[in-house]
Copies of this chain bind each other. A is one copy, B any other.
């Protein structure tokens, strides 16, 4: 068992609090060579009863109800921010000021202005930092990155990504409050753009480099919903759907789209990249597969290959089971923790850092600006 404890102070106990806690609990079982070992030191949330229940379930040693107290505790090494987007900025600034490492849920912030200050804060404090764009570390996605880096695709012509869901189609669904803050503009900063397209953009920058310009449209299909915090019917401020065209610096063209009104899709994040020599496709609904087309194959037997990314020589997979046995969604978080801990060992930053996540934030903001103005926005 790794000998160096890394004391974690977690803020939030929602869906992401569970995903991160699981990653901390599992990482040393499957990555036994790691020198650091996360210790679940404290769980922080305003609702003390729920916080205690969650802490007990996951084995957190203590509970805080005020995050400002948590970030000041001397027995905490790293703060993990899993609370709604409107809390990231203040928490990160205070955590950095107290010299804590920070692992922040995505998106980094509600907007670029917040994000800029957060990057400044961690860089001035010199603390290790990362943002949980976890999809990079799904083995099939990491494999896509490897194939691109090996030059197998050649010049890239096209990139396309969608993130489609269908959980907000009912007009009866309220907005705001626990579990539904993603529909509340103030809490979330935006709708699908910050929640879903941010993932697509992060992956795209990683795989395809920087954006040059975007042209977007957004729509709010259900204009009013009951707000859970006021009990009143209120205007919906978020974007229910967003689509945009983009040009990348490498000369490729791209389309991006996200919505929560695509009946039949729960979490259909897909991307496809078309290069001169080869193409790649991936789909979160079958996250353990990568589709690959290699024009170099003999012409009569050319076809899209469905790679079952479960072999020992696939990224991360030597840590899990045997060929053919798939892992799932949660493992991407384990991988991110493993890489973060390896970064600590080596004294190296682990991507995506706050600074890198700020790039994604800038694209999101440009997208929303373009949707408002009806103009292309240069980056």
Binding site for B on A (CB under 8 A): 1, 15, 19, 21-22, 25-26, 28-29, 32, 53, 56-59, 143, 146-147, 153, 157-158, 160, 162, 164-167, 169, 215-217, 219, 221, 241, 243-245, 247, 251, 253, 255, 257, 259, 261-268, 274-279, 284-295, 297, 299-308, 310-311, 313-314, 320-331, 374-376
- Residues in B with CB closer than 8 Å to A323 are 167, 266-267
Is there contact, CB below 8 Å, between A29 and B21?
A: yes
- On chain B, the residues within 8 Å of A297 by CB distance are 305
Quickly give the copy total for this chain.
4
Docked-complex contact A300 and B329, CB < 8 angstroms? no
Given A262-B158, A279-B264, A374-B376, answer yes or no on A325-B328 (Cβ-Cβ < 8 Å): yes
Q: A303 near B299 (CB under 8 angstroms)?
A: no
- Is A32 touching B19 in the complex (CB atoms < 8 A)? no
Q: Report the minimal beta-carbon distance from A117 to chain B, rounded to whole angstroms.
A: 31
Picked from B53, B59, B274, the residue with its CB within 8 Å of the CB of A261 is B274
Task: List, sorted by A's number, 18 A–B pairs whose CB atoms are closer than 8 Å.
Answer: A21-B29, A22-B29, A25-B26, A29-B57, A29-B58, A157-B261, A157-B263, A160-B162, A262-B274, A263-B275, A266-B308, A266-B310, A266-B311, A267-B324, A285-B326, A286-B289, A327-B330, A328-B331
> Residues of B contacting A277 with CB < 8 Å?
263
Please judge, given known A-B contacts A25-B25, A265-B324, A326-B328, whether A217 and B292 are in contact too, CB under 8 Å: no
Contact, CB under 8 Å: A279 / B255: no
Q: Which residue of B lies closest to A58 (CB)?
A: B29
Chain B residue contacts of A147, Cβ below 8 A: 300-301
Q: Which 3 A-B pairs have the closest CB atoms?
A: A267-B324, A266-B324, A264-B293
Q: Inside 8 A of A1's CB, which chain B residues have their CB?
A: 56-57, 59
Find chain B residues with CB under 8 A from A311 CB: 266, 299-300
A276 close to B255 (CB less than 8 A): no
7 further A-B contacts with Cβ under 8 Å, apart from A1-B56, A166-B295, are A28-B57, A29-B58, A143-B300, A253-B259, A303-B306, A306-B306, A326-B328
Pair A274/B264 contact, Cβ less than 8 Å: yes
Q: How far is the CB of A186 from chain B (nearest CB, A)?
A: 23
Closest B residue to A327 using CB positions = B328
- Once the chains bind, are B264 and A253 in contact (CB under 8 Å)? no
Task: Give the complex CA separation of A268 and B251 in angstroms.
Answer: 23
Residue in contact with A244 in the complex, picked from B245, B262, B293, CB distance below 8 Å:
B245
Task: Tell me, in angstroms, the Cα distance from A213 to B267 when the chains sit together.
Answer: 28
Given contacts A267-B324, A328-B327, contact A257 B259 (CB under 8 A): no
Contact, CB under 8 Å: A329 / B329: no
